[in-house]
Chain A
Amino acid sequence: MIVKDIIFQLSVRSVRLHFLRSVLAALGIVIGVVAIASMGMMGANMTLSVTEELSSMANILVVRPDIGFGGGGGDRPVMAGMSSSSTEEMITEDQFRDIEQIAGKYGLVYAVNSRSDRIEMGDSKGRSTIYGLDPAVFPEIFTLADGAFPKSTSSVMIGPDLADRFGLTLGSKLDIGEENETTTVRVVGILEERGMSMDLNTDSAIIGSEKLFFGIYGGEGEYDQVNVVLDDINDAAAVNTEITAQLNKKEDQVSVQDSSRMLENITATLGTMTSFVMAIAGISLLVAAVSIFNVMMMSVTERIREIGILRSIGTQKTEIRKMFIYEAGILGVIGAVIGAVLSLAIGYVVVLAMVGSTDYFFTPESLLYVPFGMAVGIVICIVSGVYPAWSASNLDPIEALRSE
């Protein structure tokens, strides 16, 4: 066993003999381990937090008509009064049915129409996006803050920002459209805030039934986009591929936006940032490595005579090397253990300050950086001890014995 090894005992005693110097050398490792582990934990917590936040809306595929440059980018606002988009730029009923057939077994599929139009309530005038959806999907994709889902073609829900902007309440009446062609609707529901999203942006919008929408703008049987809400985010790539393969057989008719890709990109970016920050933190370990190297070289210089004695009484070169590697390893282990304990405390504070939540602090993905930091610290220490150990083992025993 290594602790009973007499060579190891010599290393332990050398560390003890130069306690203060050893502590100062190990302090560098402590700082390095704390820096690496804390930064790693911060990155992991940030990634986990963002992933959790985004994954609830990353399970959505948005299918839009292909317009020749790789898909759309959100709503395609069409000024009220203008004719509906041409057939090439709309999802047809047949295409919608195909998408439904492919993706229906993976989750909810629904068609969306939207227009930006003029709205008026009393003296207040402005513009808003008007969404038309199948009323059957309302309860599945919207959460009401107040009121009920619209059941008639004259009732709508509105987003919370729009309600605030125009002072709308349940029962308020709105006019949609240009002055001579307005359609009056009544607010029956106010939605909870939903935030920006790739599929629907409802916070400042008016949401009604398809019938209401077609009644105002026409274009029945054509849709601006089809949204697929997947039960399992892991199906995103497969469903995307299947829809693209089926609908774009002859020519590109639709483009599919996969929000899970966005999540992947964000996660990858955060991962890169974490690695970068950890690399900067790693510089402190490099400084520590120089300190350990210096201490080990001092140790060799101070112990030249002792090395000569050990060699003269039958200690092999490999055992001399081991003695100094053990010494560097002991400094590394002491530094790494203290660093690990401190990094739990300091990492907690850093995560709380930078991420704003410690919900994920004790997850394996986060805590993994503690042993990682320890391992890096110990390895760096041992590597720093290699050259001093090598030079010690290659000392000429006669010259070493003459040393004072």
Chain B
Amino acid sequence: MGSDPIIGLDEVSKIYPLPSGDVIALDKVNLAIDEGEFLAVMGPSGSGKSTLLNQIGSLDVPSSGNLSLGGRNIRDMSDRELTSLRLTMIGFVFQKFNLVPLLTAYENVEYPFILKNRKGDEAGGHVSRVLQMVGIDPVLATHRPPELSGGQQQRVAIARALVNDPKIILCDEPTGNLDSENGRQIMGILTRLNGEGRTIIMVTHDPVVASHARRTIVMKDGRIS
């Protein structure tokens, strides 16, 4: 691409100190991800995939090394700044959907938009458009998450991830709890979003799912092998 990567990891390590000894979840990882990339992260359980995703998602900060998002080193950022970054720059899609059970599908999508813009009145049209984009009709949008199927919940989760127009979408096993048909549809949506220019980083065990990505890295023992 020629320009600076949107995500850059420079010798990033994450160590969890435990009474039984330190656990090295990430071991001096170097990685550059350009804007608009679709990256699949594969590897066995405990290889550090989710830790890497959490670091990139600014849910956690590295024990050592530098991790830059959009040119800013997250180790220099306060909790408030990291939270704002998650709200504005990053969208999460989880394996277990992670919708807020107290809110309807519509409100789940509306919630981050209101947090960011503080204007609930203006959310209406935008939220409806995003829901429509992922294939959730207005009637379904009035339902609470437990009343929706897995595929529908994941669509709502994708809509929630998109509502603040983030540059980066992080997906942790997005099809892991879905049947093959729904999994295929979700991957279709993610591929389309990548085609529109969004950077997508996806953790998966499934080579078929990973095949939708343009680049795949494999992790082992906290390192990129």
The interface of chain A, by Cβ under 8 A from chain B, is: 4, 6, 10, 13-14, 17, 305-306, 308-317, 319, 397-398, 401
Contacts and interface: CB of A to CB of B under 8 A. Distances in A.
A236 to B, nearest CB: 62
A17 B102 contact: yes
Contact of B103 (A10, A312, A319): A10
B56 interface: no
B83 A316 contact: yes
A398 B61 CA distance: 11
B98 A317 contact: no
A313 B102 contact: no
Contact of A6 (B80, B86, B120, B164): B120
A266 B57 CA distance: 70
A189 to B, nearest CB: 82
A314 B103 CA distance: 16
A55 to B, nearest CB: 58
A43 to B, nearest CB: 44
Contact of A313 (B60, B107, B111): B111
Interface of B: 54, 57, 59-60, 79-80, 83-84, 86-88, 92, 94, 98-103, 107, 110-112, 114-116, 120, 160, 164
B98 A315 contact: no
Contacts of B59: 311-312, 397-398, 401
Contacts of B60: 398
Interface centre among B84, B100, B103, B160 (most CB of A within 10 A): B100
Q: Which of A4, A306, A314, A315 has the most CB of B within 10 A?
A: A314
Contacts of A314: 83-84, 86-88, 112, 115-116, 164
B99 A309 contact: yes
Nearest to B79: A317
Interface of B is mostly: helix
Contact of B160 (A313, A315, A317, A398): A313
B111 A6 contact: yes
A309 B164 CA distance: 16
Given A312-B86, A319-B115, A401-B59, 15 more contacts: A4-B120, A6-B115, A10-B102, A10-B103, A13-B102, A14-B102, A309-B99, A311-B83, A312-B57, A314-B87, A314-B116, A315-B83, A316-B83, A398-B60, A401-B98
Contacts of B101: 306
Counting chain A CB atoms within 10 Å of each CB, the highest count among B86, B102, B107, B110 belongs to: B102
B110 to A, nearest CB: 8
Contacts of A310: 100
Contacts of B160: 313
A396 to B, nearest CB: 8
A398 B98 CA distance: 12
Nearest to A402: B50
B83 A317 contact: yes
B84 A312 contact: no
